Amino acid sequence: MTKYLIEGGHPLHGTIEISGAKNAAVAIIPAALLVDGVCRIENVPQISDVTLILQILRELGADIKTVNRTTVDVDCSHIRNRQVPYELARKIRASYYLVGALLGRFGWAEVPLPGGCNLGGRPIDQHIKGFVAMGAEVDVRNGLIYAQVPGRGCLAGGQVYLDIVSVGATMNIMLAAALAEGMTVIENAAKEPHIVDLANFLNSMGCRVKGAGTDVIRIFGRDYLHGANYTVIPDQIETGTLMIAAAATHGDVELTGCIPTHMEALSAKLLEMGARVTESDDTLRVRGTLCGYRGVNIKTQVYPGFPTDLQQPMSALLCTAVGTSTVVENIFETRFRHLAEMERMGARVRIYEQTAVIEGVPQLHGAAVEATDLRAGAALVIAGLAARGTTEISQIQFIERGYEDLVGKLRAVGADIQMVDVPVEAAENEAQIS
């Protein structure tokens, strides 16, 4: 078993280049299924969720060529298999995008229900509502999503008002609508940066998507889409995670190749706490303060509000802020599982349904902790970097799903963090004790 071992107390100093956005790449890559030709996708992050979605496309018959470390050529001209492998698809949330892409291209899809982080119920009823609005018949049984257009025709443009603002449903409906006959309108659409990125990719393939980034998106379906070259946007959540790590270690870090306007909700909160945040073009600089951070209140919202994916990393900083902070999680049912692990490090937290009340303590101390999901793992890394002593983080596969070379990037700016292999028997003994 591999773990992270962190010796805390080292302020981060230096520059980090931000990688491509996970939640854009895992939708853009399946979008290549819409094209009978080659798509060159650049700035693809080297993370396990992307590796998995590429592996699924290969299983369907796509020809995938690695051009360089972050560029792939995806050719879906010869898709021969339309049954998505169960064991692969159930490992990630983004496998649901295969429904929209396969339904849009072939009028038929059979895709295992998605997996992903355990954040409570993660239904897909809004995805299905969109497909049905475009004339598809959808059934979910035996762990599979069956979707098809009657008579194996193609989808017709439809109108859908999302009952809940859903990133996945918005993107999935866009994928299905790209080759539909006529116009599809998505109302109450999500507005995250990766939705605009997917729209730009579809437009580069010859589609006409209007209004992405607003709450009404119109997709004018085409008969045919052509291959395209496209560069994925930088990762908003990686940027935010590293901004928080810089503040938590009272360091001075420049994040390059990012989009500062995507970070405004977090930048405002860090400034409110007393950190210094400055920006120019594609760079953000975060400088910590030694006189202690003011506690603040966080309420997660859809974009451009405070991102739910940064709520967990932010709580690691709030644990040592002066005074009381509150975190209200408005997007997911269960996104506080990291706090129990932080209590092992000395955090003082009380949870009341969707609200966590965090009493600041002067210092966290290192401990053996376990990542319970992707952003919980990132939060524990930040806590370990700021804590006094040694922190050991297990279940790091969650973290590797969404952060490219996190250990390498942190070490390059002075963190004492390393990946260590723990013999399986030692890990099993530890598990028996705990």
- Alpha-helical (H) ranges within 184-330 are 193-204, 236-248, 264-273, 311-318
**Site for ligand EPZ, residues 229 to 268, rule: CB under 6 A:** 237
The 3-state secondary structure of the chain reads CEEEEEECCCCCEEEEECCECHHHHHHHHHHHHHCCCEEEEECCCCCHHHHHHHHHHHHHCCEEEEEECCEEEEECCCCCCCECCHHHHCCCHHHHHHHHHHHHHHCEEEEECCCCCCCCCCCCHHHHHHHHHCCCEEEEECCEEEEECHHHCCCECCEEECCCCCHHHHHHHHHHHCCCECEEEEECCCCCHHHHHHHHHHHHCCCEEECECECEEEEECCCCCCCCEEECCECHHHHHHHHHHHHHCCCEEEEECCCHHHHHHHHHHHHHHCCEEEEECCEEEEECCCCCCECCEEEECCCCCECHHHHHHHHHHHCCCECEEEEECCCCCCCCHHHHHHHCCCCEEEEECCEEEEECCCCCECCEEECCCHHHHHHHHHHHHHCECEEEEECCHHHHCCCCCHHHHHHCCCCEEEEEECCHHHHHHHHHHC
The one catalytic residue in 39, 76, 117, 319 is 117
111 is a contact residue toward ligand EPZ (CB under 6 A): no
Q: Name which position in 60, 145, 169, 247 contacts ligand EPZ (CB under 6 A).
A: 169
166 is a contact residue toward ligand EPZ (CB under 6 A): yes
User: Of the ranges 10-18, 105-113, 116-124, 415-423, which one interacts with ligand EPZ (CB under 6 A)?
Assistant: 116-124
Site string for ligand EPZ, 285-314 (x = CB under 6 A): -----------------------xx-----
Q: Name which position in 13, 90, 122, 299 contacts ligand EPZ (CB under 6 A).
A: 122
184 is a contact residue toward ligand EPZ (CB under 6 A): no
**Alpha carbon distance 285, 273 (integer Å):** 16
> Shortest Cβ distance from residue 239 to ligand EPZ (Å)?
13
> Shortest Cβ distance from residue 398 to ligand EPZ (Å)?
10
CB nearer to ligand EPZ: give 140 or 412: 140
**Site for ligand EPZ, residues 198 to 227, rule: CB under 6 A:** none
CB nearer to ligand EPZ: give 133 or 374: 374
CB nearer to ligand EPZ: give 324 or 330: 330
Count the site residues for ligand EPZ by CB under 6 A: 28
Q: Name which position in 17, 81, 137, 164 contacts ligand EPZ (CB under 6 A).
A: 164
CB nearer to ligand EPZ: give 250 or 409: 409
168 is a contact residue toward ligand EPZ (CB under 6 A): yes
User: Of the ranges 125-133, 283-291, 383-391, 421-429, which one interacts with ligand EPZ (CB under 6 A)?
Assistant: 125-133
Site string for ligand EPZ, 356-375 (x = CB under 6 A): ------------------xx
117 an active-site residue? yes
94 is a contact residue toward ligand EPZ (CB under 6 A): yes
> Shortest Cβ distance from residue 255 to ligand EPZ (Å)?
18
The footprint of ligand EPZ (CB under 6 A) covers 22-23, 26, 93-94, 117, 121-127, 164, 166-169, 190, 192, 237, 308-309, 331-332, 374-375, 402
Residues with catalytic function? 117
